[in-house]
Structure 1
Amino acid sequence: MRPTPADLQAARGAVIDDLLPEPLRLLVVGINPGLWTGATGAHFARPGNRFYPALAAAGITDWLVDPAEGYREEDLAHLRAIGLGITNLARRATARADELTDDELRDGARRLVDTVRERRPGAVAVAGITAYRTAFGVRSARQGRQQSWPASALELAEQGPPGGRAALEATPLFVVPNPSGLNAHATIPTLARDYREAADAAGMETFPPRA
């Protein structure tokens, strides 16, 4: 069953586990979980979010995943099989992204660097240009494939075990549009195009596009 209004309110502050399959090909980085995700445990679960329709339209998934009531076992198995990982810059569920603090986003940058260093994804796609700019301190960043990881990320990587900087430098980094229905600047076709570019860099299989 879909979450009730009471379920959604109870989900405030919930922390959702990352989806980190092995091998990890494309790691998608959201801003933070919404209340629908907090209630169901499924990333990008709110009805109207265009994340999974864009994945299907891009041929990244072989069918349209609908997690509004939580992941079905076959959907979750499929995401793992294709190597699609999902994490967030900030971990706590909120009703709106503007409830987050800049410090939470900057802490998320450190956690993302650690994840990339440890799990070595084929590519990383951060979904949300404003959050990306705040997290990494790059106010002039634009959407698309980044020429390199921000200097702040490379500095964080150097603070960890040896090889961290090299791991980041070897990982293609993209900033892609936020798939929220509130983002009027993106459509399913444009999201699919941008997500497909990141998936290609990650070496992911291409399925027949699904409407």
Structure 2
Amino acid sequence: MPRPRDVVTERPTILFVGINPGATSGKVGHHFAGPGNPFYRLLFASGLTSEQLVAADDQRLVEWNYALVNIVGRTTRTAAELTREELVRGREQLARKVKAMKPEVVALVGVTLYPIVFGRTSTPGPGPKPELLEGARVFVVPNPSGLNATYPTFEAKLPWFVALAEFANVKARASRR
């Protein structure tokens, strides 16, 4: 199965971090490729991108100075299938990637990532977090997956992506770098 490749750029404005590829992403080799996954629609609707992208465009995120990685590379139907060892290894790899890329903001895509990355939930839920990750500010957005029962609709997720754009000060940047 083709694994989605990391989307990498030096000093990205935002480094988006997913937990791991879902079944469709693992099949096609692109991030957030599930049939009902609105990740790219959320980026466009929030002003984070000036074009409506699709999963096959994931490598184009660098055009807006964004990067995208997963904590764990293994494809699963749900994140619950991941082992504790995979998550610990993934957390260590993420720290190395953040240190190498030096993003301004790390956007954890899914509230379950926050305790995985930091080992605690001092401020649960989406939004800005007080911790820094290798010097980068941290923001959590809801997981865009249709399996997300807490934020099940596009409308429930969109305000958090808008808030991320404001937090990263990219809302006004309608054009590519």
- For normalisation by structure 1, the TM-score amounts to 0.73
Structure whose CA Rg is larger: 1
2:93 & 2:168 partners in 1: Cα distance?
A: 20
Equivalent residue letter for 1:191? K
Q: How does 1:101-120 map to 2 (within 5 A)?
A: 101-120=83-102
Matched, 1:147 2:130: yes
Where structure 2 has 5 or more consecutive residues not aligned to the other structure, the ranges are none
The structure with the largest strand share of the pair is: 2
Q: How many residues align?
A: 172
SS at match of 1:129: coil
- Counterpart in the other structure of 2:23: 35
- Counterpart in the other structure of 1:122: 104
Matched, 1:180 2:145: yes
Deviations 1:166-209 (A, max 9, x none): xx23x11012211101113223234232123223333425467x
The structure with the largest helix share of the pair is: 1
1:117 & 1:203 partners in 2: Cα distance?
A: 21
8 Å CA contact 2:3, 2:30 repeated in 1: no
> Identity of counterpart residues, as a percentage?
35
Cα offset, 1:39, TM superposition: 1.8
- Counterpart in the other structure of 1:200: 166
Equivalent residue letter for 1:179? P
- For normalisation by structure 2, the TM-score amounts to 0.85
Cα offset, 1:139, TM superposition: 4.1
